[in-house]
Copies of this chain bind each other. A is one copy, B any other.
Amino acid sequence: MNEFELLNNEISLAEKKKILKTMNEVDIAELFEHLPPADAVKFFRLLVKDKAAEVFAYLSSNAQQELVNRFTDKEINFVMTELFADDAVDFIEEMPASVVTRILKHTEPGKRAIINQLMNYPEDSIGSVMTVEFVSLKIDDTVKIALEKIRKEAIDKETIYTLYVTSPAKKLLGVVEARHLLINEETILIKDIMSTDFVKATTTDDKERLVAIFNKYPILALPITDSEDRLVGIVTHDDAMQVIKEEFSEDFELVGKLKTSDRPYLTDNPFHLARNRFVWLLVLMISATLTGSIIQSFEEAIVIVPTLVTFIPMLMDTGGNAGSQASTLVIRGIALDEIRPRDGFKIFLKEVSVSLIVGVGLALINFIRIWIQFDIKLAAVVSITVLLVVFMSKTIGAMLPLLATKLKLDPALMVAPLITTIVDAGALTAFFLIAKLILKI
């Protein structure tokens, strides 16, 4: 009995239902992505209630829309009731307006209000990714009451492993882990076992903060408070994982000089892929054309000593690579919250030392090679330039991301085009000026 049998027409629906029971929600969702929508709906109807909503949440927006278009009003109501608020928001946000109208019409007013509230948070805020299904306890509850509350509410909550103790004014007072409920006597009071050393964030914080927090603290869920310090939601570890994945991908793509896309590479179409790459290539091409015109302004020198041209690739590549090394480390440090803008001077000093060590090493190697292959004057020109280029690109490469952060821009976005332009132009200008000076041309 395996998932391939699902597509076998000779197998009864009852059998297929059994097969679906043995399959993981994530895997069922993956299967649905590859089925004709009509078949997916058929199988969706065979799923047990709990599983159906989970499978739906894991589907891509395209697959969700195909299903919803085939759903009865009752099925829409069922899905909207069962989905956690954050998943419901993710789902609705991607639907066309006409579909949204139909969905909201068949959503209970209470849920609708919550969805509207979550959709009002700015796109990059933590509020936009949090959910509201958490268990809250009172400070005078006993372990017994807490366990009963879990028994009653567990089915509708996204997590029951971390419970939140709030005051009558909804202020967050403490956090209780379910494991502590299980190992303590039933008569113990919540206030005696709750911990007050919890981490929290606010709805208006940038969702990038989740990367730093979940990277630092081994928590299962993060409580989120509003501007008046009331507990209004949580972000669970798996939703944080998604944000972390997105943020990493974004930085990764920007370092690779692409516009970020949330469509998976394999299923994305060539025109969309091309569009995300074209803008960057164009910007960088224009920048390189500027560098070209610097070379042009030194055409005279080139005609006299054509060998100078052979060093252009090496100087450009070394500058670009040295700069990207420094900026990569700083961008990653910022993403993981290991580096803050106030560390600027420390980083500057560090890159100065690193660039001197690396620069002198590379300059020496070049000096010896060019001395042997050409002559000592040319060797001096190139190696002095190498040292300068490494120094310049490393310090600029490290400082640009910090500057971007201070200006509240995405560090990875600003660095690639600027560093290429500055370093290439700077390197070649320096090279030709030093050449003119030493070679007397």
Contacts and interface: CB of A to CB of B under 8 A. Distances in A.
A154 B177 CA distance: 12
A314 B284 CA distance: 8
Contacts of A160: 179, 182
Contact of A361 (B21, B251, B278, B321): B278
A107 interface: no
A313 B179 contact: no
A215 interface: yes
A389 to B, nearest CB: 11
Interface in A297-345: 299, 302-303, 306-307, 309-314, 316-318, 320-322, 324-325, 327-330, 332-333, 336, 338-339, 343
Contacts of A27: 197
B316 A313 contact: yes
Contacts of A215: 241, 245
A354 B276 CA distance: 10
Residue of A257, A264, A346 with highest tally of chain B CB at under 10 A = A257
Given A160-B179, A179-B160, A321 B354 contact: no
A292 B321 contact: no
Contact of A217 (B24, B313, B327, B336): B24
Contacts of A390: 281
A266 B362 contact: no
B362 A282 contact: yes
A101 interface: no
Contacts of A266: 333, 338-339, 343, 346-347, 350
A22 interface: yes
A322 B362 contact: no
A346 to B, nearest CB: 7
A256 B150 CA distance: 48
A78 interface: no
Contacts of A4: none
B281 A362 contact: yes
A317 B424 contact: yes
A159 to B, nearest CB: 8
A320 B287 CA distance: 14
A313 to B, nearest CB: 4
How many copies of the shown chain assemble into the complex? 2
A115 B350 CA distance: 38
A147 interface: yes
Interface in A77-126: none
A52 to B, nearest CB: 14
A325 B154 contact: no
B336 A245 contact: yes
Contacts of A147: 182
A321 B354 CA distance: 26
A179 B154 contact: yes
B265 A329 contact: yes
A291 B217 CA distance: 48
Interface in A243-268: 244-245, 248-249, 251-253, 255-258, 264-266
A290 to B, nearest CB: 9
A318 B291 CA distance: 13
B312 A353 contact: no
A196 B25 CA distance: 12
A348 interface: no
A192 interface: no
Given A303-B306, A306-B302, A350-B273, A314 B328 contact: no
B249 A332 contact: yes
23 contacts: A21-B197, A147-B182, A155-B183, A161-B220, A218-B238, A256-B329, A257-B325, A264-B333, A265-B350, A266-B338, A266-B347, A274-B358, A277-B325, A281-B390, A284-B321, A285-B314, A291-B314, A291-B317, A295-B313, A296-B307, A309-B312, A316-B317, A317-B424
